[in-house]
Structure 1
């Protein structure tokens, strides 16, 4: 490897752990500029959603690759590994993962936090706790930004810092405290350093 994640053949490399860190960096960099350019909230929301979803995927993934997939894919993967055959079919399991999608954002978080009530999806007005409100806000805004339709719309900025703070707290809890089924690379990537920077910047911007 040469500078960053670029190898000698000029290929840039990604993995699920570094993607979380990269997303947090994007959130931080846009927070530095959002006071002068409020439209940067779009990239804060998208980066935050990506970081939280990615952290959940990292925490849920087992050593055999199962854990974060949609339910039908999880069944197929486990059948390939632990079905009627005596020897695990790694090829079949890999083929399932190659064509499958990870579970939706809300389902990933429910697997880690069964007590979370996210059944109302993006309706944050009916949420019972601040954390649920923040998660629903994040999901709703991310979907509106990611699938932008031809229209003019506005968001109230008053609740955005709390939403960011709650999401960062959950990212850090998932990454550093939740049981990880594989080697946890978040500590060596210094994720807590970037989450601390985000909190300090939120305090300045509040």
Structure 2
């Protein structure tokens, strides 16, 4: 029985030669903190999925940057890698729009957090 691959293993694969499936295909080259952000997101996900009763606090001010980094990975996989063949222009445009809206909202949240830090 096939199982879904692990998140960090999938991240490792998009950085490998496995991504070079077509003539124009590209493998992922992380920028700045993107690798750290992917690992942090995985860690946070694991804490929620495998919940253990405990006292836990999360500093949310860094979450918009983490999410923006992760959305850059999604942008690469969906559009820049040349491995996704969009059979419907409508679906491609919807996905691009959702990605744009998500990035815009996260940028706004990030700016608000930064503004709040300068006030305090």
- The two structures share one fold, judged by TM-score above 0.5: yes
C-alpha displacement at 1:185, in angstroms? 4.7
The corresponding residue for 1:158 is 61
| Alignment check: 8 A CA contact 1:168 1:195 kept | yes
Task: Give the gaps of 5 or more residues in structure 2.
Answer: 18-31, 111-120
SS in 2 for 1:110: helix
> What displacement does 1:100 show?
1.0
- Given the superposition, is the C-alpha separation of residues 148 and 110 from structure 1 closer, same or farther in structure 2, using an over 3 Å criterion? same
Moved >2 Å (runs of 4+): 183-188
Question: If you compute each CA radius of gyration, which structure gives the higher value, 1 or 2?
Answer: 1
Question: How many angstroms does 1:174 deviate by?
Answer: 0.3
How do residues 56-67 of structure 1 correspond to structure 2 at under 5 angstroms? none
Deviation at 1:186, TM superposition (A): 7.5
TM-score (norm 1): 0.42
Instruction: Encode CA deviations 1:24-57: one digit per residue, 9 max, x unaligned.
Output: xxxxxxxxxxxxxxxxxxxxxxxxxxxxxxxxxx
More off after superposition, 132-141 vs 106-115 = 106-115
Q: What are the superposed Cα offsets for residues 126-184 of structure 1, whole Å, 9 maximum, x if unpaired? A: xxx40111011100000001111111201111211100101111101101121326x43
Q: How does 1:18-97 map to 2 (within 5 A)?
A: none
Runs of at least 5 residues in structure 1 that lack an aligned partner in the other structure: 1-98, 116-128
Richer in helix (by share): 2
> CA–CA distance in 2 between the matches of 1:164 and 1:186?
27
**Within the alignment, does 1:110 sit opposite 2:20 as a pair?**
no
User: Could you say if the C-alpha distance between residues 186 and 151 of structure 1 is closer, same or farther in structure 2, counting changes exceeding 3 Å?
Assistant: farther
What do you get for the CA RMSD once the two structures are aligned? 2.3
